Structure 1
Amino acid sequence: MPALLSVLGLGSPRNHQSSHYLDNNTNPDILAEKLDTMGSANITKAQMIALSILDTHKQLKKLPTYQPGEEINRLLGNLVHTCVQIHPPSVIQQILNFPGLQQILSSLRTICSEAESCLETHWAEHTLALAAHQGHETVLKALQTDFPYFQNYIDLARLELSAIRAALPPNNTAPLKKITFIGSGPLPLTSWCLLDEIRKTSSPNDTIPIICNIDMSPTAIDVSSQLNGALGPWGEGMKFLCGEAGSSSISLEDSDVVYIAALVGLSQEDKEEIFLKVVRTMRPGALLVVRSAWGLRTCLYPEVNVTTERLLGVLECCAVVHPFTDVVNSVVVARVRG
């Protein structure tokens, strides 16, 4: 989710936005109409948040494109800011149970997914254009400085790497040799930041794993591969492959860890089918890392359950970590059963 957060850089030290749930641009006529329907002038905090989410969805659906721009930046920025706030469980349930909210979640998540894809493509092309005229040090510095939420990728990579290491058997001294990221997209910042974190936290003589990035889009693989080459030493240790998750043409038997990106499948049912296909090509004992969500963050991404009857037959859940920071995605680590 860091890419979606980066639309406005909300929560960044450089941005001090108000914590109000409805900004001054919210259409008062729309809210008044909804409040009349509720039949009460005494609106609670939970109702106010729910109305804000519903109104944002309505405005997003009117946009002709989800390419980065002033209007979509404002709408998605406010939405993400609202959804990462921490509330008591009772308040969260009141919001999620608000009339009509559950009915729009599938549509809202789809919009967020499309907007994030557009954002990644925009920044990948922007950085690649810069690379045509600048050296790799300048390109890397520009990416780290200009991309508003680069730090979120670093924070997420640290969180996920800690969960991965915690899930490894205590008597396992073998280093990770290969990590595969399925659904890497045109801007594989997770892979870059994860590999960088591994380098920083490894001993000089430790083996550094290769990260193989897989995406079903030839364009995404072409762009990300070119961009990786433009990053010089920071991009070393990365491979790129075009293919579909779970395809018989892609073997994952030599992967110690397999990531499945948050945008791969937008429902529990879709994700479960993908997990089953992927796990069939993995070796027993390897780790599957997937991204989930909790609380109001489920308005942006679905909560992923790896303890369903079918998945428990092939996966052993090792850890579920929920961030209470600006990082949106939770991390789930599961071990492939023998």
Structure 2
Amino acid sequence: MASFQNLNLETQISENLLITQITQLHASISKLESLKPSKQVNSLFTQLVKLCILPSSIDIQALPQEVKNMRESLINLCGQAEGLMELEFSTFLAQIPKPLNNLTLFPYYGNYVKLANMEHRILKENGVVHPKKVAFVGSGPMPLTSIIMATHHLVSTHFDNYDIDEKANEAARRIVATVTESELEKRMKFETKDIMEVREKLGEYDCIFLAALVGMSRDAKVKILGHLRKYMKEGGVLLVRSAKGARAFLYPIVEEHDLVDFEVLTIFHPTNNVINSVVLLRKPMI
């Protein structure tokens, strides 16, 4: 991949080169025996991320079907690898003193800080300043957004973190439970539930975050959005993570026409090394 090494964030990459190199990386990742963190796994996914954040004019919807199929496979592989990496780091951090002081050991911690700063700014600009109660759907074993938001931005807010995987929640609880010098554990709960089975409780939240990998297909994402729309409180806001351009080889896209019966407040696409786009929605008052 000699040509890849010379690219940088200011370089516009051609669609053909982008697809060729992503296809090569997908082939290599697909052959891996395990997606657990290792030198080879880390190297391949680092190359993929660097490639996908380059400026490009690629239109995901216009791609040939075989490239779309490859993209769906790659998103699933990325999701599995991300979960395994988070679980390994969460387990490691829970075993050392003051794990929250060592979050910087996580390879993508800086990206999460930038993403949380961006999301907090967007919330603030749209009048969401001191929400009493927030839900994070798809928090995983390293609930970094909730931790960063709770400790740096929304310092009196209560966070309910939902994940379908009890193993992920156990790992997350262990990290937060070690914070004896603050009340973070009192403000942060972890629920093992499929969000489609949560109904009335969704009406308690001023703001709901929907992680990018909750609802991997368009149909699944639209069903989840419809469920949240039905049960969340009137006037409540929903922050949905999406992706644009080549970043959509890493995460699913949420299209504006998927956002039925929501008021769209903001759609923001980053151009730095933050991968996720942010879509901020409000459930209208009747």
Please give the TM-score of this superposition, normalised by the length of structure 1: 0.76
Question: Which sections of structure 2, spanning at least 5 residues, go unmatched?
Answer: 7-12
Query: Matched residues in 1 for 2:161 and 2:60: separation?
Result: 40
- Aligned AA (1:110): N
Q: Quote the offset at 1:249 in angstroms.
A: 5.8
Partner of 1:141: 101
Whether the 8 Å contact between 1:185 and 1:221 is mirrored in structure 2 is yes
Query: Matched residues in 2 for 1:248 and 1:119: separation?
Result: 28
Partner of 1:161: 120
- Aligned AA (2:18): I
Please give the TM-score of this superposition, normalised by the length of structure 2: 0.89
> What are the equivalent positions in structure 2 for 1:51-130 lying under 5 Å apart?
51-87=20-56, 89=57, 92-93=58-59, 97=63, 100-130=66-96
> What are the equivalent positions in structure 2 for 1:153-232 lying under 5 Å apart?
153-168=112-127, 175-199=130-154, 208-232=156-180
Whether the 8 Å contact between 1:293 and 1:304 is mirrored in structure 2 is yes
Q: Quote the offset at 1:197 in angstroms.
A: 2.7
Query: Matched residues in 1 for 2:229 and 2:61: separation?
Result: 35
SS of 1:186's partner is: coil
Structure of larger gyration radius: 1
Q: Quote the offset at 1:140 in angstroms.
A: 2.2
Q: Quote the offset at 1:70 in angstroms.
A: 1.2
Query: Matched residues in 2 for 1:69 and 1:320: separation?
Result: 35
Partner of 2:281: 334
- Aligned AA (1:290): V
SS of 1:251's partner is: helix
> What are the equivalent positions in structure 2 for 1:29-48 lying under 5 Å apart?
45-48=14-17
SS of 1:246's partner is: helix
The alignment covers a number of residue pairs equal to 277
Partner of 1:240: 190
Whether the 8 Å contact between 1:46 and 1:95 is mirrored in structure 2 is no
Higher mean alpha-carbon deviation, 58-67 vs 234-243, is at: 234-243
- Aligned AA (1:283): K
Q: Residues 225 and 326 from structure 1, CA distance in 2 versus in 1: closer, same or farther, beyond 3 angstroms?
A: same
* 1:267 to 2:201 alignment: no
* 1:322 to 2:241 alignment: no
- Aligned AA (2:162): I
What is the root-mean-square deviation of aligned Cα atoms in Å? Answer: 2.5
Of all paired residues, the percent bearing the same amino acid is 28
Higher mean alpha-carbon deviation, 183-192 vs 217-226, is at: 217-226
